[in-house]
Amino acid sequence: MIEAAELRKEYGDVVAVDGSTFAVDRGEIFGLIGPNGAGKTTTLKMLAGLLEPTAGSATVAGYDSRERDMRRNLGFLPEDSPVYEEMTARSYLRFFADLYDVPRSVADDRIDSTLDRLDLEVRDRPLGNTSKGMKRKVAIARSLVNDPDVLIYDEPASGLDPLTTNAIIEFVGELGQDRTVVFSAHNLFHVEELCDRVAIMLDGEIVTRGTLDEIREAHGGVEYHVYSDIKVDGGEPMGDRYRCVVDDMDAVETLRSVIDDAGGELLDVRTHEPSLEEVFLAVAEGT
């Protein structure tokens, strides 16, 4: 549903995005992560047709990202998404449904269904008198009034309280069951929880991409923590026992023999997979 090929964006002498290439299938949630200034928002805006690429191309739902018809198949949520504060949630969403020529009866059913799923009960109060979290939920509902096949969300839960954040993240996960979703986030726990695949951007470039397992294998790998009641070479004290960290099961078996020969006992073996945050830091520090 989305294909980006060598996307590049220049602002004078500054290269904001340099050769981004990736594809996202229907029913897939794709996470774009990186530090501030990495090029994430610029990439998302090029996909959404809001910025003209300096070079390269992008197709979204079968359309070139620059085509007007593409936007009828897209729901876009920018990081900063102000609303018309004098409008109520219901009138605001009806206004955008009218822009997409959605029949009123269809629009009302769709609006109520979406707001029900977002647990937004305040629908007839001016948006200027609602919380930041409520405004964000309305902005998300706005991205769905045209029933798009593709959703592009830039920091959908940025700056919200934990309860609202969890509600929105769960909702994004539901949306990814039958739509294509691309989103950026600084909270890597949410990315790890939701995404089928991830791309890491640094200084305008995608430096690695793949499933979480593939990225862990390439940049982190699995560790085995071996605990014993005696100290052996490489062991460190952990309370009343000792821990050795090794990279594979062959090394675990070697340690077992060493511990047995020394008259000790292997107490436990635990597998440790690095979190996405640990992998991200390893990638960032290694480039």
Instruction: Convert 146-213 into a string of H (helix), E (strand) and C (coil).
Output: CCCCEEEEECCCCCCCHHHHHHHHHHHHHHCCCCEEEEECCCHHHHHHHCCEEEEEECCEEEEEECHH
- Contact between 56 and 20 (Cβ < 8 Å): yes
Q: Average pLDDT for residues 34-56, to the nearest whole number?
A: 95
H-only helix segments in 195-232: 212-219
pLDDT more than 90, % of the chain? 75
Per-residue model confidence (pLDDT) at position 81 = 86
Is this model's pTM higher than 0.75 or not?
yes
Confidence of residue 96 (pLDDT cuts 50, 70, 90): very high
In this model, does residue 287 exceed pLDDT 80? no
What is the set of domains in the chain, with CATH numbers?
A: 2-210 (3.40.50.300), 222-286 (no CATH)
pLDDT at 36 over 70: yes
